[in-house]
Amino acid sequence: MRAVCWMGKQSIEVHTVPDPAILNPSDAIIRITRTAICGSDLHLYDGYIPTMESGDILGHEFMGVVEEVGSGVKKLKRGDRVVVPFTIACGNCFFCKSHLYSACDNSNPNAHIAEAAYGYSGSALYGYSHMMGGYAGGQAQFARVPFADVGPIKIENDLPDEKILFLSDIYPTGYMAAENANIQPGDTVAVWGAGPVGLFAAASAYMLGAGKVISIDRFPERLKLAEACGAFALDYSEPDLNVIEALKDLTGGNGPDSCIDAVGMEAHGETTGVYDKVKQALMMETDRPTALREVIQAVRKGGTVSIPGVYGGVLDKVNFGAAFGKGIIMKMGQTHMQRYLRPLLDRVEQGQIDPSFLITHRVGIEEVPAAYKTFRDKAEQCVKVVIDP
Ligand code: NAD
Ligand code: ZN
């Protein structure tokens, strides 16, 4: 099959590789019909995630048709149409049983590497380094899906792939970010980042009862999509704009009830270096976490900060005193995907949201290397790339 391979920092190539095969009775093989590039893939592209190896297959947002199932799979059969969540969970450990799927203890055979590097380990992820399990990703024509009775859900409607695909990550991620923001009816919610995660967070904040959502970014095409979700847009690159003051003006002086950091460690101008060895991850510092600092500074006293944006390693110079002094609540983490697939699929089927609204680029698999660069550079007004492999 053809697959998108990570060959090194900012080096992506499409190669012919062996088709995946069933390795365990609980596996399924999926023929992929649609997949996408995620903001999280950019951390790999830019070399921020340790333990990638040349030739690793990328991609964690995918859906398709079941080609083959292992002898232990009960819920799926050949021919079923499925969407696959990006976190791999066993469904059976203490954490899965507590619905903390992204903390699964059984899916990552390399958890000890992450623990040595970072002091923690979560569930395995598709296409996201050996430290995160070493599973081949879904930017390919086929993928092996472990714990196939736990992750994928069957799609039994006729909706096109583009309306279903983002259940694999960014829609649940934006939704959990809004849930983590403790939104009370009528609350004002500010969202840093109008990328795919920030856009779904903004849309979800309204679904969860927000009265006003404010989206902050610097790319006009992204802010326009935020406005289409009903948000008030702030362009933080405007020379005369002070984001904190603007948010105070919009909230009667208090600041937003909830603030969501949908940016993560690579906030504009914030990168400090490239780390390609696990031990260096211990020393990884993001010494100017602009978005996170602004989020803490802006939120009202007693308010909530929700962080879906990814942070790795050590974070320095966070205004923790302000967080403490204001008595804020902070919630964060990798999305517990398996919690959200069914309820969010229901919302899509009921027409409450059309998740395809943010797609700007559609490419075939051979065009993916160029598409990574376009998405990374936010060129050609790119917001989300969908791949037909
Ligand atoms: P993206 O790169 O497309 O979007 C990020 C947006 O943030 C961009 O539009 C950028 O202009 C904006 N931005 C940068 N600096 C900013 C600042 N200082 N203030 C305001 N906006 C700023 O990425 P995405 O796909 O939307 O993903 C966003 C983050 O969410 C990434 O860190 C990604 O890894 C993370 N993510 C987390 C999970 C999870 O499970 N928690 C899942 C998927 C993605
Ligand atoms: Zn993703």
Residue pair 354/163 in contact (Cβ under 8 Å)? The answer is yes
Which ligand has the shortest distance to the CA of 86?
2
- One-letter amino acid of 316: D
Which pLDDT score, from 0 to 100, does residue 275 have? 34
Q: Which tokens is 185 given?
A: 């009816």
CA 267 – ligand 1 centroid, Å:
8
Which pLDDT score, from 0 to 100, does residue 49 have? 83
CA 86 – ligand 2 centroid, Å:
7
Measure the CA dihedral 369/375/381/386, to 10°: 70
Neighbours of 163 (CB within 10 A): 18
CA 82 – ligand 1 centroid, Å:
26
Indicate the top mutation candidate among 167, 191, 310 to test ligand 1's pocket, ranked by most ligand atoms within 8 A of CB.
Answer: 310
Q: Which residues of the chain have pLDDT under 70?
A: 266-289
CA 149 – ligand 1 centroid, Å:
30
Using a 6 Å cutoff on CB, does residue 219 contact ligand 1? yes
Span(s) in the chain for CATH 3.40.50.720: 174-332
Using a 6 Å cutoff on CB, does residue 334 contact ligand 1? yes
Angle between helices 290-298 and 243-250 (to 10 degrees): 30
Which pLDDT score, from 0 to 100, does residue 267 have? 54
Using a 6 Å cutoff on CB, does residue 87 contact ligand 1? no
Which ligand has the shortest distance to the CA of 308?
1
CA 253 – ligand 2 centroid, Å:
35
CA 123 – ligand 1 centroid, Å:
21
Which residue in 205, 202, 155 sits closest to 349, CA to CA?
155
Which residue in 195, 294, 200 sits closest to 248, CA to CA?
294
Q: Which tokens is 284 given?
A: 């990884």
**Distances from the Cα of 109 to the Cα of 79, 90, 120, angstroms:** 30, 12, 14
Indicate the top mutation candidate among 37, 40, 241, 244 to test ligand 1's pocket, ranked by most ligand atoms within 8 A of CB.
Answer: 40
Reply yes or no on domain 174-332 having CATH 2.40.240.10: no
Residue pair 217/229 in contact (Cβ under 8 Å)? The answer is no
Q: Which tokens is 184 given?
A: 């009370």
Cα–Cα distance between 164 and 21 in angstroms, integer? 25
Which ligand has the shortest distance to the CA of 306?
1
Span(s) in the chain for CATH 3.90.180.10: 2-169+336-388
Atom of ligand 1 nearest to the CA of 264: 32
For 345-362, b/e burial (b = at least 16 CB within 10 A) is bebbeeeebebbbbbbbe
Which pLDDT score, from 0 to 100, does residue 312 have? 74
Q: Which CATH superfamily is domain 2-169+336-388 in?
A: Medium-chain alcohol dehydrogenases, catalytic domain (3.90.180.10)
CA 309 – ligand 1 centroid, Å:
6
Using a 6 Å cutoff on CB, does residue 177 contact ligand 1? no
Indicate the top mutation candidate among 102, 180, 217, 330 to test ligand 1's pocket, ranked by most ligand atoms within 8 A of CB.
Answer: 217
Which residue in 307, 259, 318 sits closest to 285, CA to CA?
318
pLDDT per residue as tens digits for the range 51-72: 899 999 999 999 999 999 999 9
Q: Which tokens is 335 given?
A: 């999305």
Atom of ligand 1 nearest to the CA of 290: 18
